[in-house]
Amino acid sequence: MSLAHLQTTYQPLNNYDNVSIAIVVANWHTEIIQKLYEGAYTVLKKFHVGKIERFDVPGSFELSFAANHLAGYGVFDAIICIGVVIQGETKHFDFICQAVANGITNASQNTDTPIIFGVLTPNTLEQAYERAGGKYGNKGEEAAYAALQMIDFKFYAQNVYQSIQPNWIDSQIDS
């Protein structure tokens, strides 16, 4: 079973009227990027996300800087990064993919903001099209579902656990 099936059947839980989501778009392979962006935007609109803002950066390498910077303002509930890096074209592939994957992971953890990895890393342009509204679906849509799922995750965890004291505090008081 493909992961795409699992992700797109996630049923978003919240009311998203007050939610703000940034979509950061790397301007390489712009036709594919546009399809991924539209896929993400359509899903967010479908679930009535209150504010969707697009930011453009030169290439995928810049995605993690932009996401980290935007997350620092604390106004976005999630940030979706969209890019396409084609393996066959460049030795830069490994550098760019590693950098953006690590950069997004760090930015997400440092800012406590879900930052979604919507970066295609196929071998060929054709494989990229297949994942941007072709036979393997639209990874931009999946990125939008991932953002909503992570917003729901944070919302749930904060509501359930924020008021609960960690166990070690009880043991301090008892002793």
Interface contacts to ligand RBF, rule CB under 6 A: 26, 28, 58-62, 83-86, 89-90, 92, 96
Q: Least distance to ligand RBF from the beta carbon of 24, Å?
A: 11
CB nearer to ligand RBF: pick between 19 and 70: 70
- For 19, list phi and psi in degrees, rounded to 5: -95, 140
Whether the CB-CB separation of 157 and 150 falls below 8 Å is answered with no
CB nearer to ligand RBF: pick between 49 and 63: 63
Q: How far apart are CA 107 and CA 101, in angstroms?
A: 10
Q: Least distance to ligand RBF from the beta carbon of 175, Å?
A: 55
Closest CA to 44 of 116, 104, 136: 116
CB nearer to ligand RBF: pick between 40 and 96: 96
Q: How far apart are CA 55 and CA 62, in angstroms?
A: 11
Closest CA to 30 of 81, 76, 83, 67: 83
Q: Least distance to ligand RBF from the beta carbon of 87, Å?
A: 9
Whether the CB-CB separation of 6 and 146 falls below 8 Å is answered with no
Active site (annotated) includes residue 29: no
Q: Least distance to ligand RBF from the beta carbon of 119, Å?
A: 8
Secondary structure of residue 33 in the 3-state scheme = helix
CB nearer to ligand RBF: pick between 46 and 92: 92
Q: How far apart are CA 104 and CA 9, in angstroms?
A: 25
Annotated catalytic residue within 5, 29, 48, 92: 92
| Residues acting as catalytic residues | 92
